[in-house]
Amino acid sequence: MNITATTIKQDIRKVSPAQLTDWLTGQGQPGFRAKQIQEWLWKKSATSFSQMTNLPLPIRELLDTHYEIRPLTVDQQQRSNDGTIKSSFRLFDGNLVEGVLIPALRHDDTDRMTACVSSQVGCSLTCKFCATGYMDRKRNLDAAEIYDQVVAIDRQSRETYDVPLSNIVYMGMGEPLLNYKNVLESIDRITSPNGLGMSPKRITVSTAGIAKMIRQLGDDGVKFNLALSLHAANDAKRDTIMPINESNTLAALGDALSYFYQKTGTRVTFEYILFYNFNDTLQDAEELWKFTKRVPAKVNIIEYNPIAEASFKNTDPQTLDRFAAYLEQKGVMVNVRRSRGKDIDAACGQLAGKK
């Protein structure tokens, strides 16, 4: 059967409130219904028009004739021994992305529940230590698909731990700043009083380092947190593991981060994986310390999570402790992040949308 333009329904979550109002009045319906519909979509996370029970049935039927909602679905779900839950999400076009629920480890912080969400199907940056980097980038996620991951993971948190989400990190599949518009729109939907109402200070966007877009974040005056996946404060080494550094050098990134801080006043987080016999010497620590002086920052030292495609190894505990101690002696705020969900390939750098 040939599909004509008249048989294709429009994704209602890509329709602006003004457009929806105009359409409703054109159909002889009161324009105020648009606000009710928007509330169902973004505040109550409705996945069908039949759920919109304060709308008259004829309007629901009218919506169903012309529009559709394209919610993602949980394709598979795995639970780690440490309580981490990894989900494979099926998108409307059949593509898969992964998201992770990371519960608090410490008994005194049981209310901390973090969602790690994806922003692209695959990735184009080819970082040598990341499983997603060995995939092709198929497409960007739209704002609603990112929003849906948060809704689904929040539901998992409530059902499994009886606690709502407290934090969101854009550290899953893809480079968020190469999907700039949709990422910022998703954060607006998540933080808006007309959406999920979360605080932007509970959200962190992690980038491999796109200097131009970091500056754009400053110009846009964003309220969320920014993390840079650094992993080497030496251009030659960073070029080796992160080819994006060849066009976004450390000097360019340092200038962009200074601009971002000047515009937003938000301290930056540097993420640093210690690879055995590559970037784990005291000289590497000194280079990192000097780079942190460019902008108020803290450093998260991250445990490496091996992947089949790469031969990198995690550094040994003594070297890690020595590296962290050097930074702390220089006055750098350091957190050592232990990996979560390694037994189900849910840890940092392991997400690959496997079928």
116 flagged as catalytic:
no
| Residue 175 φ then ψ, to 5° | -105, 110
Measure Cα distances from 169 to 235, 296, 347 in Å: 26, 20, 13
Q: How far apart are CA 120 and CA 178, in angstroms?
A: 9
Tell me the β-bridge partners of 99: 87
Look at the chain and count its residues. 355
Smallest CA-to-CA distance from 153 within 174, 172, 177, 139 is with 172
User: Does 130 qualify as catalytic in the annotation?
Assistant: no
- Catalytic residue, chosen from 116, 123, 130, 348, is 348
Catalytic residue selected from 98, 145, 175, 271: 98
Q: Is 299 helix (H, G, I), strand (E, B) or coil?
A: strand
Q: Phi first, then psi: what are they for 243, rounded to 5°?
A: -55, -25
Question: In sequence order, which residues have a C-beta less than 8 Å from that of residue 107 and are 6 or more positions away?
Answer: none
> Helices (DSSP H) in 220-316: which residue ranges?
235-241, 250-264, 282-292
**Residues acting as catalytic residues:** 98, 348
